[in-house]
Amino acid sequence: MPTVYLVVPCYNEEEVLPETVRRLTEQLLSMREQGLADENSRMLLVDDGSRDQTWALIEGFSRENRLVCGLKLAHNRGHQNALLAGLMEARLHADCAISLDADLQDDVSVLPEFVQKFTEGCDVVYGVRNRRDTDTAFKRVTAQGFYKFMQALGVDVVYNHADYRLMSRRALEALSEYREVNLFLRGIVPLIGYRSDYVYYDRHERFAGESKYPLKKMISFALDGITSFSVRPLRLISRLGIFVSMASVLGLLYALISHFLGHTVAGWTAIVCSIWLLGGIQLLCIGVVGGYVGKIYSEVKARPRYRIEQKAGEMDDSAPSLTGQDGEKRV
């Protein structure tokens, strides 16, 4: 039987965490009975620098329930870094790890299906939503547009897949070799390759608490995904520059012909419109290029993506880990 770790990033989840632990405990015990998980399987709750009582709850659960263990990041590093921290810890102890959100929107009843496909030889199993009925009309349209746009840019992403997935230890070892700071795991995981499959599920309403992904964060996340995996926007800027240059040549020819024919008339409106149009295009292009330069700046500094401040619960510590002289883990 495989050792299965359920990796759950948490940020200010004190309202939903007790129910999350209860349901995941039921699923782990059920998978044990089905022969899909051994007695060393755990749920790994990763506290991403929460400001509420999330870590205190995790510590309490880890003392009462041996299936619960936890990691506390030293600072809030964002969902993707917290998820990566949990996955990198899980690879030291588990045969496979399943990542899911703490808000119980991901259907935990399909967890055995993930492990079943793993036992059949899959290294990566993607959780894919059947439909998006629980989303608002705005979120549904923008999310579907994002996936289509990413595919149009040539980025290999799984349609209607978020971060509900299983990864084998081999896949996690491959993931650990990707050192970029600007994380977009939905785009990185398909690059790993290996045999993969899908589990389809219905996404539920959030059990309690508030969403940690407002519109501003969703836009930032989408831009990270686009600029981290495609240089096509830069190529589009080059093509736009060629087009504007050709249009300028045509405009110059028109102006010269009009001058020699004596048809020139002072056109204040045309001049102002052209200035604003070209100025807007230039600022847009500079902004896109600046976004890429900023990402290069972040990558070149190569700062640690997270620090693990504290651990809770029982985990097999026989495997080596990357730690500093002060005992803090840095990745």
d(CA 72, CA 166): 22
Quick check: is 222 in a domain?
A: no
Same domain, 68 and 13: yes
Whether the Cβ atoms of residue 306 and residue 81 lie closer than 8 Å to each other? yes
Shared domain for 154 and 188, answered yes or no, is yes
Q: Lay out the sheet containing 124-129: strands in order across.
A: 196-201, 124-129, 161-168, 96-99, 4-10, 42-47, 68-73, 307-312, 329-330
Residue 88 has, within 13 A of its CA and on its CB side, a CA count of: 24
* Owning domain of residue 156: 4-216+304-330
Is 17 or 261 the better-scoring residue by pLDDT?
17
Q: How does pLDDT run across 199-255, given as a tens digit for each residue?
A: 898 877 665 555 555 556 666 666 666 666 666 676 777 777 777 767 766 766 766
Residue that wins the pLDDT comparison between 255 and 130: 130
φ, ψ at 186 (rounded to 5°): -65, -25
pTM value is 0.70
Task: Report how far apart the first and last C-alpha atoms of the chain are (Å, whole number).
Answer: 30
What would the mean pLDDT of 314-324 be, rounded to a whole number? 47
Question: Is the per-residue pLDDT at 6 higher than 90?
Answer: yes
226 part of a folded domain: no
Asked whether residue 221 is assigned to any structural domain, the reply reads no
Are 151 and 225 spatial neighbours (Cβ–Cβ below 8 Å)?
Answer: no
Give the count of domains, the chain.
2
How far apart are the C-alpha atoms of 266 and 125, rounded to whole Å?
Answer: 66
Q: Provide φ and ψ at 58, rounded to 5°.
A: -60, -45
pLDDT at 3 exceeding the cut of 60: yes
